[in-house]
Every structure is written in structure tokens, then in C-alpha cells.
């Protein structure tokens, strides 16, 4: 029952499926890059709510601070200066963090039962008490998101404030955003909102504006509105998908085929012995028994 009341629909490395019948609303966060002013209130709210404090870093010469996601910085503003044809110099600000894929590579790759779960509302969440620190999730993730703590060797990333969402609140970053660059709601509503915004941007000269909700991972529960359209400009993977290598390596079929084959080798030995018998040598040096009749 515990999995049911949590509405867990997928659990890493498990031989049985969690209860599937209950259906809850899929949620999503929409990041409208065209409205973001790079104030980092979302970064601060994330630290506040989740009680994580990163080490004091050093100035790397740009606004990025910290310069990368860490086990204690689950979301990071990334600042890019891009010369775009016809648009001149553009300052692009991209809020990086977990996209909460519908087909999460981390969950597929994880070998520790229940260290990663996917809720019916679409959130993908580490359950760190089950994490063994192997790092397979990092190989599985197409977005380079999970980070390990040097303190406990466990993986951390954005939880989409699963604890807040579970009691009907929006994630902390949404609450803190002063420009409404961040929105939160049902995935359906967020797609509508994104569609409206893309149309609006189109009228204002951003003809290539697009929604980033990549189909290769069956859509995500963190989506972007990209005013210049091409995800590559924003350093987002253009066609992200779970690598075929990971799909094969961690596929239930391949692993089960491997185990069945290994058991077959043991069985083949037993049956060979029962049919052919041992190869024994008599003291005189001749083979004992000879061929079976």
C-alpha cells in the first residue's frame, strides 16, 4: 500500500511493478527563457526549501555561480552570450536542472532496487537511502544531471519539490520567481501556456520560438519556452534520448537472457555428465568404460 499511496508508478531495479491502477494528474514546470532575468531567486529558494548549502566557490569570470550543478546545487542559472544572425548579441539565461523525463534514463540504468522512483505525477526522485553510489544514473541520464555527494557517496538532483507537490504546493523555485518566468501546473495546462507564449513571441519577432519537451525521452515534466527556437543555442540536447547502449546494457530482456544462458551452461554440464559420464583413466593408462552403449 505504501507505494500506492505515494503513487509510485516505476521503481528502479525491481522485478515486480508497483501498483498501476491509480491515475493522478501529471504536473510540469514551464521555464520561459524569454522572461528570465537571471536573478537566481530560484537557486536561493531551492537551497532554502531543501536545506542544502553549497561550498563558497570562486568567481569564474561570468555570472554562473556556482559554475555547475552539484550535490547541493540542484538548479543553476547558466549565462550564454550568443551572436545570432539578424538578432545581434543575445544574452541567454538558462535554468539548468533535472527535466523529469517520462522515460528516465537514470531509472533504467539504476541497479539498486528503489533508489530511483517515478511518481504518477511525472516526478523522478532519488530515494537516497537505497542508493549504493555506483554512478550508473549518470551514464543513463541524457542531460548530465545527477551529482554525487563526497560526504555520503549518494546521488542528488532536483526533486521538483516532490514533498511540496505532494501536499498541493508549487515547487520552491516557482514561488520565488519574480518575473513569472517559472510556472507550475498540470502538464496539459503548461503545454497550453507554452503554446500561447510561443504564438505571442512569434508576433513580436521571435518567429522561431519553440517549446522544449523532447519526444526522445517521451516528453519531460520540466519544459522550456525557447524564444530563438533551436535548443542547441541554449546548450540543450537537440534530440535527447536514452542511449541505445544504456538501453541494451540495462534492458530487462538482455539481462534476463544473460542469466538464462548462464543457468543453461550449468544445466548443460549436468546433462552432459549424465549422458556421457566421467572421463576416467585406468591405472594401465586406458580409458575406463569407453563409449556409452
Partner 1 sequence: MRPLQQMPPRSDPNLLPRYTHGERLTHWAVAVLYVALFLSGLALFHPFFYWTSALFGGGAFMRVIHPFLGVALAVVFYAYAARLWRDNAFVPSDGKWIRGMFRYMNREGEDVPVEGKYNAGQKYMYWSMIFIIAGLLVTGILIWRPYFAPSIAAPVKRSAGLIHAVLAFIMFVGIGVHIYAAYWTKGSVRAMTRGTVTRAWARFHHPGWYAKVSGKGGP
**Contact between residue 225 and residue 30 where contact means Cβ atoms under 8 Å apart:** yes
Q: How far is the CB of 115 from partner 1 (least distance, A)?
A: 8
Cis-peptide into 66, omega within 30 deg: yes
With CA atoms as reference, report the closest residue to 147 among 223, 26, 66. 66
Most distant CA pair in the chain, distance: 99
Nearer to partner 1, 142 or 227 (CB): 142
Q: Give the residue with the Cβ less far from partner 1, 51 or 283.
A: 283
- Chain contacts with partner 1 (rule: CB under 8 A): 13-15, 111-113, 130-136, 138-139, 141, 144, 148, 150, 153, 243, 245-246, 248-249, 255-256, 258-259, 261-262, 265-266, 269, 272-273, 276-287, 290-292
Q: Which is nearer to partner 1, 89 or 266 (CB)?
A: 266
Q: 143 and 237 in contact (C-beta within 8 Å)?
A: yes
The minimum distance between CB 116 and partner 1, in angstroms, equals 12
Nearer residue to partner 1 within complex by CB, 64 or 71:
71
C-alpha cell at 32: 520561459
Nearer of residues 53 and 286 to partner 1, judged by Cβ? 286
Q: Shortest Cβ distance from residue 118 to partner 1 (Å)?
A: 16
User: Least separation, in Å, of the C-beta of 279 and partner 1?
Assistant: 5
CA distances from 203 to 25, 93, 207, 227 (A): 32, 22, 7, 11
Of 157, 159, 170, 212, the closest CA to residue 34 belongs to 212
Instruction: Pick the closer one to partner 1 by CB: 122 or 231.
Output: 231
Other residues' Cβ atoms within 10 Å of the Cβ of residue 117? 25
Which of 88/285 has CB closer to partner 1? Answer: 285
Q: For residue 77, give the 3-state DSSP assignment.
A: strand
Strand order in the sheet with 210-212: 182-186, 27-32, 222-226, 210-212
Rounded CA-CA distance 146/157 in Å is: 5
Cβ nearer to partner 1, comparing 17 with 180:
17
The grid coordinates of residue 78 equal 547558466
Q: Is 59:66 a contact under the CB 8 Å cutoff?
A: no
CB of 132 to partner 1, least distance (A): 4
- Minimum Å gap between C-beta 272 and partner 1 is 7
- Whether residue 92 contacts residue 64, with contact meaning beta carbons closer than 8 Å, is answered with no
Cβ of residue 30: shortest distance to partner 1, in angstroms?
Answer: 27
H or E segment and range at residue 155: strand 155-156
Q: How far apart are CA 31 and CA 42, in angstroms?
A: 11
The nearest distance, CB 254 to partner 1, in angstroms, is 8
Amino acid at each position: 500500500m505504501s507505494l500506492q499511496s505515494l503513487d509510485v508508478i516505476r521503481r528502479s531495479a525491481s522485478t515486480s511493478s508497483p501498483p498501476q491502477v491509480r491515475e493522478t494528474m501529471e504536473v510540469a514546470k514551464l521555464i520561459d527563457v524569454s522572461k528570465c532575468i537571471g536573478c537566481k531567486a530560484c537557486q536561493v529558494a531551492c537551497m532554502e526549501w531543501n536545506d542544502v548549502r553549497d561550498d563558497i566557490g570562486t568567481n569564474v569570470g561570468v555570472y554562473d555561480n556556482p559554475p555547475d550543478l552539484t550535490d547541493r546545487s540542484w538548479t543553476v542559472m547558466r549565462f550564454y552570450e550568443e551572436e545570432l544572425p539578424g538578432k545581434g548579441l543575445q544574452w541567454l539565461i538558462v535554468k539548468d536542472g533535472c527535466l523529469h523525463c517520462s522515460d528516465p534514463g537514470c531509472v533504467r540504468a539504476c541497479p539498486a532496487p528503489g533508489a530511483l522512483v517515478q511518481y504518477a505525477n511525472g516526478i523522478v526522485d532519488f530515494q537516497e537511502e537505497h542508493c549504493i553510489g555506483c554512478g550508473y544514473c549518470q551514464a543513463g541520464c541524457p542531460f548530465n544531471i545527477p551529482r554525487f555527494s563526497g560526504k555520503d557517496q549518494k546521488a542528488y538532483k532536483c526533486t521538483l519539490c516532490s514533498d511540496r507537490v505532494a501536499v498541493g504546493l508549487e515547487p520552491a523555485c516557482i514561488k520565488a520567481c519574480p518575473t513569472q518566468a517559472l510556472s507550475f501546473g498540470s502538464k496539459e495546462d503548461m503545454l497550453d501556456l507554452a503554446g500561447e507564449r510561443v504564438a505571442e513571441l512569434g508576433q513580436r519577432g521571435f518567429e522561431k520560438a519553440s517549446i522544449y519537451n523532447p519526444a526522445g525521452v517521451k516528453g519531460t515534466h520540466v519544459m522550456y519556452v525557447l524564444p530563438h527556437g533551436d535548443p542547441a543555442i541554449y546548450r540543450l540536447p537537440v534530440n535527447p534520448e536514452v542511449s541505445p547502449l544504456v538501453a541494451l546494457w540495462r534492458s530487462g530482456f538482455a539481462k534476463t537472457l544473460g542469466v538464462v544462458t548462464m543457468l543453461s551452461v550449468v544445466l548443460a554440464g549436468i546433462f552432459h555428465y549424465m549422458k556421457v559420464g566421467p572421463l576416467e583413466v585406468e591405472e594401465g593408462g586406458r580409458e575406463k568404460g569407453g563409449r556409452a552403449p
